[in-house]
Amino acid sequence: MFGHCNQRLTRRTFLTLATGTVVVAFARIGHAADKIKVAAVYVAPVEQQWNSRLHKALRAAAERGDIEYAFSESVAMTDEERVIREYADKGYQLIVADSFSNEEGFREMAKEYPQTKFLMASSFGPQGDNYAVFDNFIQDASYLTGMIAGGITKTGVIGMVGGYPIPEVNRLMNAFKAGVLETRPDAKFLVNFIGSWFDPPKAKEAAFAQIDADADVLYAERFGVTDAAQERGVLAIGNVIDTQPQYPKTMVASAIWNTEPMIDAAIAKVHDHTFTGESYEKYASLKAGGAELAPLGTFEGKLPADLVARVRKREDEIKSGAFEVQRDDSEVKPSS
């Protein structure tokens, strides 16, 4: 998916071990014979943006009665394998987790549980018959938000604050940059990585510095950036989730990750005994419904009509296959 296993620039390169408490919640929805037992293991709280998208889709499947759902959140990375094994030993048929902290170790573990199906967020490709991989491949939607940013900036300076320069972050930021350049070819980019997945104060300070350097639109890959934008009266573009309800005058548009197509496909394949090692990248596209441009909401009617028309046209072209957003996992660079 991202290359061979000798690649070093992966999320696990940057992740630091963190302690946490394990919280397990079970869906109390009965025990129908054809109900799939699914467990998810999260190394951060389910409220965290990435986890919240998976948790939302799994809860919906449980509420429909398709699965019996259990999850553990805030699991220390040193405990993640142990918790996954416990679920496998209890007979859970599908386990959803990430493998960034120990790619090789989780793959060896999966070989010990050939009857258990694993859907793992990973920087590498699938393995065997029971190890499928996914990531947030929402570059289509990120490109569209970039077009909006390029069309609304007045200074021509775009600020971008990310966690770490790893593939899953780089590809969305690069797609955003490409979209900006379609509508503002002379745009300049300020780029900062804060070295953390969750440090709002640090992200906020980085954003303040970019605003001081004339950035008037900020790409908020991390929490904290939008707070800075709101305080200084500039605009923001969101990632993975839509926070416009919390920032109605600041958050213009967001690239949304919808995990329902991926989760529902995996559940169906376990149920039908067709689950195998494969990449679930295709389920994250605009066409599949795995990505979308969030509704403009409070900015509806406030953006230039010709810009909105241009974005909608490009959106239709992406969905039809007439236009392809290039996937670029390379490290995002500021303007020289």
Mean pLDDT for 215-228 is: 95
Instruction: Tell me the pLDDT band of 33, cut-offs 50, 70 and 90.
Output: low
The pTM of the full predicted model, rounded to 2 decimals, is 0.83
User: 336 falls in which pLDDT band (50, 70, 90)?
Assistant: low
Q: Is the pLDDT of residue 55 over 80?
A: yes
Is residue 61 pLDDT above 60, yes or no? yes
Please check the confidence at residue 23 and state whether its pLDDT lies above 50: no
Domains 11-134 and 139-258+289-320 agree in fold: yes
Q: Are 146 and 176 in contact (CB under 8 A)?
A: yes
| 223-248 tens-digit pLDDT | 899 999 999 999 999 999 999 999 99
Could you tell me which of 325, 313, 285, 14 has the C-alpha nearest to residue 177?
325
Q: In the prediction, which pLDDT does 32 show?
A: 46
Residue 271 has pLDDT above 90, yes or no: yes
Q: What is the pLDDT of residue 156?
A: 98
pLDDT at 95 over 60: yes
What confidence tier does 292 reach under pLDDT thresholds 50, 70, 90?
A: very high
1 band by pLDDT with thresholds 50, 70 and 90? very low
Mean pLDDT to the nearest integer, 103-112 = 96
Beta strands in the chain (DSSP E): 23-26, 36-41, 67-73, 94-98, 117-121, 131-134, 157-162, 188-193, 217-220, 235-240, 251-257, 291-293
Q: What span, in angstroms and rounded, lies between the C-alpha atoms of 130 and 288? A: 23
Is the pLDDT at 21 greater than 50? The verdict is: no
pLDDT reported for residue 11: 43
Q: What is the pLDDT of residues 72-90, one digit of tens each?
A: 999 998 999 999 999 999 9
**Residue 295 pLDDT > 80:** yes
**Rounded CA separation 47/44 (Å):** 8
The mean pLDDT of the chain is 90
Q: By the 8 A CB rule, do 128 and 160 touch?
A: no
CA quadruple 258, 123, 325, 240: dihedral, nearest 10? 30
| CATH fold group of domain 139-258+289-320 | Rossmann fold (3.40.50)
Answer whether residue 15 shows pLDDT above 50. no
Tell me the domain boundaries of the chain. Answer: 11-134, 139-258+289-320
Q: Which long-range contacts (CB under 8 A, 24 or more apart) does 185-189 make?
A: 186/156, 187/150, 187/153, 187/156, 187/157, 187/158, 187/335, 188/156, 188/157, 188/158, 188/335, 189/157, 189/158, 189/159, 189/160, 189/333, 189/334, 189/335
Q: What is the 3-state secondary structure (H, E, C) of 271-295?
A: HCCCCCCCECHHHHCCCCCCEEECC
* Pairing of the two strands 117-121 and 36-41: unpaired
> Tens digit of pLDDT for each residue in 146-166?
999 999 999 999 999 998 898
d(Cα 295, Cα 244) in Å, to the nearest integer?
Answer: 9
Per-residue pLDDT at 323: 97
The CATH number for 11-134, chosen from 3.30.70.960, 3.30.390.30, 3.40.50.2300, 3.40.50.200, is 3.40.50.2300
- 298: DSSP letter: G
Count of beta carbons in the 10 Å neighbourhood of residue 309: 10
- Which pLDDT band, with edges at 50, 70 and 90, does 168 fall under? confident
pLDDT reported for residue 19: 38
pLDDT of residue 167: 87
